[in-house]
Amino acid sequence: MEQVLSSFIEMVVSVWNFLTALVAQIAPWTPLIAWICFWLFAVNWVRLRDVMLKGGGIAVVLIGLVMVLIWGSASPDSHFFFGHEISNFVGKTVYVTVLFCIMFLCGSVQLSGCCAQCCNFEEPETDDAHAVH
């Protein structure tokens, strides 16, 4: 019985060590994972697509430019891409462009129907008799 108990304790310690190593590997990627989860599961891309087609794309581009300006001013350091050093604002533009590409990829995945079971954006029916006009 003592051998079974010590084996169980060793198994629990091994699982704990595995989970802490896994969290240590995933922790630096949590902002990107949160970005992907938000744009994949929390945004109704059917409605957003309609807004973007009516002129909202200009607002998205302007938001991206403001992101680059604020991020570049708040963190003035150079970046290395493929062994080449590039300036601060060019590096931030590359990062923001990649984030926008990931955002639109999440939208295309949702619009393709792959997330139909996870994303239910049906609006509740309202009684028009009680609505204030």
Q: Can you give the pTM of this predicted structure?
A: 0.74
Helix (H, G, I), strand (E, B) or coil at 85: strand
Number of domains the chain is built from: 1
Residue 125 lies in a domain: no
Whether 59 is in a domain gets the answer yes
Q: Say if residues 123 and 47 touch (Cβ distance below 8 Å).
A: no
Query: Over the stretch 26-57, which tens digit does the pLDDT of each residue have?
Result: 999 999 999 999 999 999 999 999 999 999 99
Confidence of residue 128 (pLDDT cuts 50, 70, 90): low
Q: Is residue 53 part of a domain?
A: yes
User: Could you tell me if 67 and 96 are in contact, meaning their C-beta atoms sit under 8 angstroms apart?
Assistant: yes
Instruction: Tell me the CB-side half-sphere exposure of residue 84, using CA atoms within 13 A.
Output: 5
Considering the domain boundaries, does residue 6 fall inside one? no
Burial 39-54 (b: 16+ CB within 10 A, else e): bbeebebeebeeebee
Residue 18 lies in a domain: no
Residue 85 in domain? yes
